[in-house]
Structure 1
Amino acid sequence: MSKALERRAKNRDRLIAAAERSIAASGLAGLKTRDLASEIGIANGAVYNLVDDVDELILRVGSRTLTRLDKVLTAAERDGPADPAATLVRIAVAYCDFAVDNLELWRALFEHRMAPGKSVPDWAISEQMDMFRHIYRPLAALFPARSLEQLSVTARSLFSAVHGMVALGLEHKLIAVPIEALRSEVATIVRAMVEGLTKTANS
C-alpha cells in the first residue's frame, strides 16, 4: 500500500471513530462533519474524500455497532444452558442490556434514514440481516419441522416484540421503565412467546 493510500485509510478510520464518539455523545442530531474534520485535523471538504457522504459515514458507524452487538449476542448464546428457549431469553436480555449501554449508537441503527432517492447498500443490509442468525439457531432447534421462511417470520416477530419493548422502555418522554424491570419484562415476554409457539406447534 502506498503512503498516500495508507494515510487515507488511517484518516478514514479516524473519521469513523470520531463520528462514533459524536453519535454516542449527542445522537444523530449532533453529528456535524465540520466538527469531525476539525477533531481529526483535516479540511471539511476532505471528509468526502474519505466517505461518499454522511449516509455512508453513519452506516460505517452502524457497522461498528453491529460488530459489537454481534459479540454480545454470541456470548449470550454460549453463556448458559444449551436449552434453546433459555438461549432466546438470554439473547433478548443481552440485546436489552446492549441498548442501555450504547443508547445513542443503538438508536442510530434504527433512526437513520437515507437521503431521498438513495437505498441502503447491500453490504449494510447483509450485516443487519446477519444478526438474525442468533435467533434462527435456537428457533430451528425448537421447531425443526419449520421451513427457513417460517423461521424467518417467527424470528422477525420475536425481534419486533423485544425491540418494541426495549425502545418504549427506554423512551423517557413516554413510559420509561426501570432497567431491572425492563430486563425482567423482556425475559417474561420471550418465555411466554416461546411457550405459546411450542404449544401451537404441538397441537
Structure 2
Amino acid sequence: MNENNADAGADRRTHLRDRLIDIAQETVAAQGLAGLKARDLAAAAGCALGAIYTAFHDLDELILRVNARTLARLEAALDAAFVDAEAEQALEAMARAYLSFARKDEPSWRALFEHRLPPGAPVPAWYADARNRLFSRLDAPLAQLLPGRDATARAALARTLFSAVHGVVALGLEEKIAETPPKLLDEQLGVLIRLLAAGLMMESARLI
C-alpha cells in the first residue's frame, strides 16, 4: 500500500510539473518573461503557491524548463532549414531560420536571454547540454571552412558566430540603433554571413 501511495504521489508530482511548465510556457509566449508570476501560475494550475516549490527547486528551474522547450523548438527550426550544401549557404539558411524563429516566437525567444540565474548559481548540466546542441549545428559548415581547426576550436568559433548573428537579429528587431525594416534586416543578415564566410576562408588559406 505504501509503495502504491508513493507511486501515486510521484505521478501527481509529474503531472503537476508538466502542467506548470505548460502554463508557464503559454504565459511567456503571450506576455514575455515579465508576465510570469508565481501566484498567477499557481492559480491557473489550480494548486497552492507552495506546490510550485515541491514540483521545482525554485522558479528559476521552472523558467529553465520552459526555456529548454524553446531551445528544442529552435533546434528543430534550424534542422529543418539546414541544407547540405556549401558552408556559406548552410550558415545563411540557419541564420535566416534563427531570424524567422525570433520574429514568430519573439517573447519566448527573448526569455532565453532575459533570464538570469542568481550570482554564483551554476547552470544545470541538462540545460547547458540543450544550449550547446544549438552551437553544434554550426560544426559541419565550420569544418568545411576551417578543415585545419579541431573540434574545440570550432566549438568556440560556433559560439562567436552565434553571438554575431544574434546581435544583428536582436538589434534589428529592437530597432534601438536605427529603424530596420524586415527587408533591410534580411539583407544585413545575408551580408554578415557572407563576410564571415569570406573571412573564415581567408583564415583557412592562411593556416595552410
The TM-score normalised by the length of structure 1 is 0.92
Corresponding residue pairs, total: 201
* CA distance in 2: counterparts of 1:67 and 1:81, whole angstroms: 21
Which residue of the partner structure matches residue 178 of structure 1? 181
| 2:62 paired with 1:57 | yes
Q: What is the CA distance between 1:62 and its match in structure 2?
A: 0.7
Which residue of the partner structure matches residue 149 of structure 2? 146
Q: What is the CA distance between 1:142 and its match in structure 2?
A: 2.3
How high is the sequence identity, in percent, across the aligned residues? 44
CA contact (8 A) 2:139 2:158 kept: yes
CA contact (8 A) 2:145 2:204 kept: no
Which structure 1 segments of 5+ residues have no match?
Answer: none
Which structure 2 segments of 5+ residues have no match?
Answer: none
Q: What is the CA distance between 1:42 and its match in structure 2?
A: 0.6
* CA distance in 1: counterparts of 2:160 and 2:120, whole angstroms: 29
Encode CA deviations 1:97-141: one digit per residue, 9 max, x unaligned.
Answer: 111111111111111111234221111111111211111111112
Encode CA deviations 1:138-157: one digit per residue, 9 max, x unaligned.
Answer: 11122211122321232122
CA contact (8 A) 2:148 2:204 kept: no
Q: What is the CA distance between 1:175 and its match in structure 2?
A: 3.2
Flag the structure with larger Rg. 2
Which residue of the partner structure matches residue 39 of structure 1? 44
* CA distance in 2: counterparts of 1:199 and 1:33, whole angstroms: 52
The TM-score normalised by the length of structure 2 is 0.90
From the superposition, tell whether residues 94 and 30 of structure 1 become closer, same or farther in structure 2 (CA, over 3 Å). same
Q: What is the CA distance between 1:180 and its match in structure 2?
A: 2.8
From the superposition, tell whether residues 154 and 69 of structure 1 become closer, same or farther in structure 2 (CA, over 3 Å). same
| 2:21 paired with 1:21 | no
* CA distance in 1: counterparts of 2:179 and 2:67, whole angstroms: 25
* CA distance in 1: counterparts of 2:205 and 2:177, whole angstroms: 39
Question: Which SS does the other structure have where 1:131 is aligned?
Answer: helix
Question: Which SS does the other structure have where 1:120 is aligned?
Answer: coil
| 2:133 paired with 1:130 | yes
Which residue of the partner structure matches residue 10 of structure 1? 15
Aligned partner of 1:31: which letter? L
Which residue of the partner structure matches residue 166 of structure 1? 169
| 2:96 paired with 1:93 | yes
Which residue of the partner structure matches residue 67 of structure 1? 72
* CA distance in 2: counterparts of 1:128 and 1:140, whole angstroms: 20
